Amino acid sequence: MNAAMMQLKFLIEDIRGSLPQFLFGLVQIVVAMLLLCYIFQQATVFSDTMAKLRELSGGGEIYHIRMLAEDSQISAVLDDESRRGELGEFMAYVDSYPVRKFIVNDSVSIGFSQAHKPFDRIGDRDDESGMTFITPVFASPNFFEVFRVSGDFDSKRVREIFESCAAGDDAPAVLGADFRPYYKAGDIFEDDRGTRYRVAGFLDKGSFFVAPYESAKAHYLDGTFIAPIASLEPNFTTLISTCFVTDDTSALDEIVSRSKEMGLLPLGYDSFSYQAENSRRRMLNEIMTMATVMGLVFLFALIGMVTYFIRFIQSRLREFSVLMLCGAREGEIIGRIAMQISAILLVSIIAALAVFGLSASVLYTALVGGAYSACVLAYPVLVFKRTPIVRILRSNSR
């Protein structure tokens, strides 16, 4: 009989022979591995986020403007038609101010009618209106270089078309990876306000950016799209979505003073470093808490698996010694146990792949799982390498 077939036959026999214990151990390991994978994923996100933060603030400190007013006061100014001109003048002043800026606004939900089937699958469906809502990212043309977001498009070209986009034009849109099966470059889709978007390209799967104005939260872009900020009507929302990269706060003080002089809203500004530090602490705490829980689960799973295999080996020791008496090599017996361990590892890796997809986290988890399996396999290796057949046979003879 083919050696691999024989091992497979033994594997099925062994699992059948102790199915409840095997399944219990398997569930423990799968849970532990999924937790481990989740932690790896979070750690990767944390590490990527920190890297992005370092890149973002590489040119100086990042500040963003904050409105120091009640909602009613803000609404009163923004809804006052007579002040629209002043507002436009102020926005133009901010826009022309010679400080490196980038704008990211992801606070506007856009509705899409049923005609756009892909949005049904990707966005949030509102049964009452029959619409599906997506929250796009409206950004300044330098978004892609600032946040190092890439895809199948030419960044320079996209920047140019973002820059040349004016109100009323078809807005260029760079779509998240989830849209890729439904659209191709050049396609046009339209939102419920009548704004038309022309597909300029697709982002890489798993693309994200770190929003400086929102406690350095990582925003994933697979299920959304990026359009120029120019396709939104300029208003104060744009202002508070503007980040200023500078080490000299006098420019910001001037913007605040200017708003005051013009009788618009009282403004202030926040440093991003402080938020980033808080964010770093929060993420680290989350990871540490999860790691502690996972560590305990993993420890119990390890104890459970080792106990299972000790019991399994002890209960089959006589059988193994008979097989060795009849010509089985130690390696074949150890291989039989290794098959079970490998089966458990394989199931847990498949579970991790099913939940998290193919990623570095799953690869790390598989590596840890491999090391873990080696630990579990140490016991049978010690038993069979160190104990002569005759002693195994004697210690189990009845």
Partner 1 sequence: MSEILLENVGKVYEGGGYRVVALAGVNFRVGDGEMVAITGPSGSGKTTLLNIIGLIDSPTSGTYRYGGRAISEYTPAELAKLRNKAFGFVLQDFALIERYNASQNIKVPLMYSDVPAKEWGGRIDNVLSMVGMSGMQKRLPSQLSGGQRQRVAIARALVNDARCILADEPTGSLDTKTGNEIMEIFSGIRDSGKSVVVVTHDAEVAAMCDRTVRICDGVLGKDVKYVDFCT
The answer to the question of residue 17 lying near partner 1 (CB under 8 A) is: yes
Please report whether residue 332 would count as binding partner 1 according to CB under 8 A.
Answer: yes
CA distance 151 to 142: 15
Nearer to partner 1, 116 or 336 (CB): 336
Distance of alpha carbon 73 from alpha carbon 66, whole angstroms = 14
Q: By CB under 8 A, is residue 15 in contact with partner 1?
A: no
Residue 226, beta-bridge partner list? 137, 174
Minimum gap (Å) between residue 23 Cβ and partner 1:
20
Of 122-130, 186-194, 322-330, 374-382, the window that binds partner 1 (rule: CB under 8 A) is 322-330
Among 296, 319, 346, 370, binds partner 1 (CB under 8 A): 319
Q: How far apart are CA 245 and CA 256, in angstroms?
A: 16
Name the minimum Å distance from CB 389 to partner 1.
Answer: 4
Sequence-ordered list of residues with C-beta below 8 angstroms from that of 302, at least 6 positions apart, any chain:
372, 375, 376
Shortest Å distance, C-beta 381 to partner 1: 14
Using CB under 8 A, pick the residue from 327, 358, 371, 386 that binds partner 1. Answer: 327
Length of the chain: 398
Interface with partner 1 includes 290 (CB under 8 A)? no
User: Between residues 317 and 351, which has the closer beta carbon with respect to partner 1?
Assistant: 317
| 388 contributes a contact to partner 1 by CB under 8 A | yes
Q: Which is nearer to partner 1, 193 or 398 (CB)?
A: 398
Residue 314 near partner 1 by CB under 8 A: no
The DSSP bridge pattern shows strands 225-228 and 124-126 to be unpaired
Name, in order, each residue with C-beta under 8 angstroms of 291's C-beta and a sequence gap of 6 or more.
Answer: 39
**Are the C-beta atoms of residues 93 and 111 closer than 8 Å to each other?**
no
Is 344:29 a contact under the CB 8 Å cutoff? yes
49-84: string of b/e by CB count within 10 Å (b at 16+)? bbebbeebbeeeebbbbebeeeeeebeebbeeeebe
In angstroms, how far is CA 135 from the centroid of its own chain?
18
Q: Which is nearer to partner 1, 45 or 322 (CB)?
A: 322
Smallest separation, CB 390 to partner 1 (Å): 4
Q: Does 334 bind partner 1 (CB under 8 A)?
A: no
Q: Is 251 in the site for partner 1 (CB under 8 A)?
A: no
Shortest Å distance, C-beta 342 to partner 1: 21
Based on CB atoms, which residue is closest to partner 1, 10 or 40? 10
Judged by CB, which is closer to partner 1: 296, or 390? 390
Please identify, using beta-carbon distances, which residue of 54 and 329 lies nearer to partner 1: 329
| Interface stretch with partner 1, choices 33-41, 144-152, 285-293, 321-329 (CB under 8 A) | 321-329
Q: Which residues 173-192 are close enough to bind partner 1 by CB under 8 A?
A: none
Which amino acid is located at 168 in the chain? G
CA distance 160 to 152: 16
User: How far, in whole angstroms, is CA 232 from its chain's centroid?
Assistant: 28
| Region of 25-33, 180-188, 324-332, 360-368 interacting with partner 1 (CB under 8 A) | 324-332
Q: What gap in Å lies between CA 282 and CA 225, rounded to an integer? A: 28
Residues 6+ apart with CB under 8 A from 351: 30, 33, 34
Query: Taking CB under 8 A as the rule, does residue 389 contact partner 1?
Result: yes
Choose, by CB under 8 A, the member of 23, 284, 360, 390 that binds partner 1.
390
Nearest distance from C-beta of residue 392 to partner 1, angstroms: 9
Considering the rule CB under 8 A, would residue 325 count as an interface residue with partner 1?
yes
Count of residues near partner 1 by CB under 8 A: 22
Burial of 244 (0-12, 13-18, 19+ CB in 10 A): buried
**398 binding partner 1? (CB under 8 A):** yes
Nearest to 240 by CA among 222, 224, 259: 259
**Which residue of 15, 27, 302, 328 would you call a contact of partner 1, by CB under 8 A?**
328
- Residues contacting 218, CB < 8 A, separation 6+: 45, 48, 49, 52, 208, 209, 210
Q: Looking at 89, 329, 346, 374, which residue binds partner 1 (CB under 8 A)?
A: 329
- Contact footprint for partner 1 (CB under 8 A): 1, 6, 17, 318-319, 321-330, 332, 388-390, 393, 397-398
